[in-house]
Each structure stands twice: as structure tokens, then as C-alpha cells.
Amino acid sequence: MTGGPALPKKSGVNVVDVAAGLVFRAGRLLITQRPEGGHLAGLWEFPGGKREPDETFEQCLHRELLEELGIEVEIHELVESMEHDYPEKSVHLRFFRCTWRKHEPLALGCPAFQWIAARQLDQFEFPAADGRLIRKLRSDPGLWL
């Protein structure tokens, strides 16, 4: 399975490739909180991180989930791919549906994490870039199986 090539760089704008996991376990979704002092501090997100130049998006996601939470997952289909522009950078996001397989999560690279049910999505503040995905998660109960 391959995550495909990165999008071409926009002229004069830093483009960051990010792989994120929609990690499900027993009908709940794993979310993490962004650290204080960084970009979008305190908001909640789907765990993952920046892709290294020599990795596929899937390899990046495996590495990031192990580093950030100490978990191992099975990566399934690409659920959403989008690009979002911030003033200082453009982020190319790929979200993969994943199944938790091994190790209980630990807050190794994030201040907090939560396993949430679909009805709890509105209780957390996510970055603007995740808006379309949040709507999809609300409207497609099949993703939560």
C-alpha cells in the first residue's frame, strides 16, 4: 500500500505533508490534544504527524502513532485528503481509517488523549482544517465500526 507522492510545493509557501489516523476501537475514536506553545495549541486533533521525505504516508502514520502514543494500528483506507492554507504554511493532510491493535495509548508526544463516541465530537475544538472530516465523521456511522 502506498500513500502516493507529495503535492508539488506552492511558490513561496512552505507545504507540510501530514498523515493522520482515525484510530477506532470498540466504536470509539482516538483524539489527541495539541501541546501548548505550538501551532494551534490546545486544540484537539487526530493523531499523526509530518511525513519525512523518504516515507509513504502510511509509514509516517505508523511511526508517528508509535512515537506519540506508543500504539500499533492496522491502517485501512484513505478517508479524506485535503489541503489547508494557514498564513505561514500550507498543510496537505491525509486521514486514514485505522484499527487499534496493540499497546494501550500513553501521552508520550501530546498532553492528553481521549477515546470518544460520535456524539462527543461537538465537545472538542478541532483545527479549521479538520472541519470537512468532522462533518463526514458525524454523517457516516459506518466509519465507526
Give the best-scoring range by mean pLDDT among 1-5, 99-103, 127-131. 99-103
Average pLDDT over residues 75-88: 91
Which helix (H) or strand (E) segment holds residue 67: the answer is helix 57-69
What's the structural domain count of the chain? 1
Residue 9 lies in a domain: no
pLDDT of residue 12: 55
Q: Give the domain CATH number at 109.
A: 3.90.79.10
Residue at 71 is within a domain: yes
DSSP 59: H
Residue 44 has pLDDT above 80, yes or no: yes
C-alpha cell belonging to residue 33: 490534544
pLDDT of residue 38: 75
- Could you tell me the residue range of the domain that residue 60 belongs to? 20-144
Q: State the pairing for strand pair 44-45/15-25.
A: unpaired
Q: What is the pTM of this model?
A: 0.87
Residue 3 domain-assigned (yes or no) = no
22 contacts 96 by C-beta, under 8 angstroms: yes
Q: Is residue 81 part of a domain?
A: yes
Pick from 137, 112, 116, 134: which is nearest to 43 by CA? 112
Question: Cell digits for 98?
Answer: 485505522
Whether 141 shows a pLDDT value over 70: the answer reads yes
